[in-house]
Structure 1
Amino acid sequence: MKLHQLQALIASAETGSIRAAARSLDMSQAAVTKALRELETEQQLPLFVRTPSGLNFTEYGKVLLTHARLVLKQLEHAQTELDHLRGKAQGRLCVGVTPWVALTFLPEVVLAFRARMPDIHLELFESLMAVAQPLLRDGSMDFAIGQLHPAQATPEFSCETLLDYQTSVLVRQGHPRQNAQSIHELLDQDWTLNYAPDGHDALMQELFWKHSAQIDEKRIIRAHSLAILQMMLERADMCTWGPTILSTASPFLGRLVSLNLTEQFEPRQLSIVTRRNGSLSNPALCFTDCLLQVIRRHARSAKKEDRQLFETLRLLV
């Protein structure tokens, strides 16, 4: 396999057609077609099929595409490392950030990172793990700052844990069940939850099943962004479960309430999540260092708002 063949494969997948791939690579259509045919011939496998709507990749093509993206990502890391050694740090860093961190520490982290590496193009995703996992898997995302259930940590991903955070059931201020004392009083309510594709059972176990609570799952809306989750809480009177800190972080302060239920939920861990056996580039290490410095500074602060934040957080590093 040659680099230009992998580039043609990725461009064809991302643009949906050979013509568009040729434009994006500044190559002729004939050159892209030749590169793809050579790749299929070498592997002796069908990688894609042409359809009126564009290219559809076979299972073989999808597997190769994932690895091709990882290869190009590692080459990008290598170039960034070499640029750093020659005193010219350039490149791109893609980071997934769990919403509550984005609402609290992230602005200071970004300012510190930009001061240290102003020539790195930074791309940030609101990284609920359902969004982050596929991007980490194919190399599109360098790392994520979030919570990964222990069952998902192997064999694909590894975690460096930064802190523990408390979780609770959350509703809007003024919700009819705001004074509920048990999860059993909320089983007739509608819920909005977020979980990764392989995280459904773990979430249901933690929130309902281990408390002998059975909920009709037709009552659950799966939300893939914080904005959707917020709208479902505030305008559709749904319940959710998540970091307690959301009830004290802007823009939710005074709008969300953390319920004081008799059921206790295990703390979750905020971690640096990476592909197992992957290596972080110098910009990635710089970003994580900035994050740790900002968190530690707030943990030592005597300000009222910082003390309030760390009522539900426990620093582990």
Structure 2
Amino acid sequence: MKLHQLRALLAICESGSIQEASRILHISQPSLSRSIKDLESELGVHLLVRSNRGITLTVYGEHLLSRARLILAEVRRAKDEIETLKGRTSGHITIGVSPVTPSSQFVNCLARFSARHPKVSIQIEELRPNKLIEGLREGRLDLVLTSHGGVRQLEGFRAVELYLQPGALAVRKGHPQRHLNSLAELRELMWILPDTFEDSPVSKLFSDCGLAPPENVMVCSSLVMYLELALRTDSVSFWSMRHMTLSNLSERLDVLEVSEQVPGFVFSLISREAELLTQAANILAEDILYEFQGNPCANPL
């Protein structure tokens, strides 16, 4: 099994065709097809299926693809590490963030890091919390800033709590039930959440109050559509107070003054153990921890 074969498999799967993959990798289509055939012969299984719908992975291909992503990411990190040992802090760091707007401290930290290390390229990807963890496991992400509720159970990763963003329940301006202040009453309304109910801090709110979940819950991971639905329907929506401030949502939504304590978003920095990160990624991780806690050796969750 060779690296160029894994790169070929990854390029074909991500582009959806051999023609596009050959263009991306700058090799001929016959050479690309031969790489895949040689890999299939070595493994004794078919990895790809060609049909009128395009190219799809077999079950063997799906398992190998996740490993290929991780292997190629490790090769990239190894090259970055060698460059660092040569005295050049360079390389590439991919950071995953939740759609809830990160704090200004995090943004300022990234700006200072980029100014100090101009040869380190930074890529920021916005994904839902579960997708962030998946990207971390597959090696596509180096660092993750997320409000994912299950960070304490992530074996093999280090997770450090950074900050809390207060949360708020809101309804559109002019909502007929905007004066309700009891969770039990609000439970009867339609709800819209950016994550599944089980993954949302709202689930703990209902559980702590001894209430069953709302019966009518819509989940929308698109932030733009989430906003549109919150503004155009009679749904109860869940927001971070920072998001409300930055987007001037308080002019378009009414924050509900409920008697119960509305949960917030606890943000954590998650990564693999320090020895598995490149030096550049370690430097940025320590910068972020120091920014929020004044101590780069903060205790993990």
TM superposition shift of 1:147: 1.8
Alignment check: 8 A CA contact 2:166 2:265 kept: yes
Alignment check: 8 A CA contact 1:130 1:194 kept: no
Deviates more, 1:256-265 or 1:23-32: 256-265
1:240 is aligned to 2:237 = yes
Letter in 2 for 1:223: C
1:273 is aligned to 2:270 = yes
| Cα 1:14–1:5 shift into 2, 3 Å | same
Q: Which residue of 2 aligns with 1:67?
A: 67
Deviates more, 1:182-191 or 1:228-237: 228-237
TM superposition shift of 1:59: 1.6
Q: Which of 220, 225, 228 is the equivalent residue of 1:228?
A: 225
1:233-267 CA-to-partner distances (Å, cap 9, x unmatched) read 233343223434434x3124633554332333555
Partner of 1:240, secondary structure, is strand
TM superposition shift of 1:290: 3.5
1:292 is aligned to 2:281 = no
Distance in 1 between residues matched to 2:286 and 2:227, nearest whole Å: 31
1:23-64 CA-to-partner distances (Å, cap 9, x unmatched) read 211112222112111221222222111112321001211111
Letter in 2 for 1:74: E
Distance in 2 between residues matched to 1:258 and 1:279, nearest whole Å: 44
Equivalent pairs, count: 295
Q: What does 1:11-90 align with in structure 2 at a 5 Å threshold?
A: 11-90=11-90
Q: Which residue of 2 aligns with 1:254?
A: 250
| Cα 1:242–1:276 shift into 2, 3 Å | farther
| Cα 1:274–1:17 shift into 2, 3 Å | same
| Cα 1:187–1:156 shift into 2, 3 Å | farther
Could you tell me the percent identity over the aligned residues?
27
1:83-105 CA-to-partner distances (Å, cap 9, x unmatched) read 12223333322111234443633
| Cα 1:11–1:225 shift into 2, 3 Å | same
Distance in 2 between residues matched to 1:151 and 1:80, nearest whole Å: 28
Distance in 2 between residues matched to 1:276 and 1:60, nearest whole Å: 29
Q: What does 1:34-183 align with in structure 2 at a 5 Å threshold?
A: 34-102=34-102, 104-150=104-150, 153-155=153-155, 158-172=158-172, 175-183=175-183
Q: Which residue of 1 aligns with 2:211?
A: 213
Partner of 2:268, secondary structure, is strand
Distance in 2 between residues matched to 1:259 and 1:294, nearest whole Å: 33
Letter in 2 for 1:286: I
TM superposition shift of 1:276: 7.3
1:256-314 CA-to-partner distances (Å, cap 9, x unmatched) read 554332333555531112357982222322333333344458xxxxxxxxxxxxxxxxx
Distance in 1 between residues matched to 2:292 and 2:158, nearest whole Å: 21
TM superposition shift of 1:174: 5.2
Alignment check: 8 A CA contact 1:97 1:145 kept: yes
The TM-score normalised by the length of structure 1 is 0.79
TM superposition shift of 1:67: 0.8
Distance in 1 between residues matched to 2:261 and 2:254, nearest whole Å: 16
Distance in 1 between residues matched to 2:226 and 2:280, nearest whole Å: 32
- Structure 2: give runs of 5+ residues left out of the alignment: none
TM superposition shift of 1:157: 5.1
Partner of 1:88, secondary structure, is coil
1:139-192 CA-to-partner distances (Å, cap 9, x unmatched) read 222221012223773347542222344434233455443432221221232222
Partner of 1:260, secondary structure, is coil
The TM-score normalised by the length of structure 2 is 0.83
Distance in 1 between residues matched to 2:108 and 2:193, nearest whole Å: 28
Distance in 2 between residues matched to 1:160 and 1:289, nearest whole Å: 11
Alignment check: 8 A CA contact 1:146 1:272 kept: yes
Distance in 1 between residues matched to 2:158 and 2:226, nearest whole Å: 27
Distance in 1 between residues matched to 2:299 and 2:85, nearest whole Å: 32
Letter in 1 for 2:235: M
Alignment check: 8 A CA contact 1:80 1:281 kept: yes
**CA RMSD between the two structures:** 3.1
Distance in 2 between residues matched to 1:172 and 1:278, nearest whole Å: 48
Q: What does 1:180-191 align with in structure 2 at a 5 Å threshold?
A: 180-191=180-191
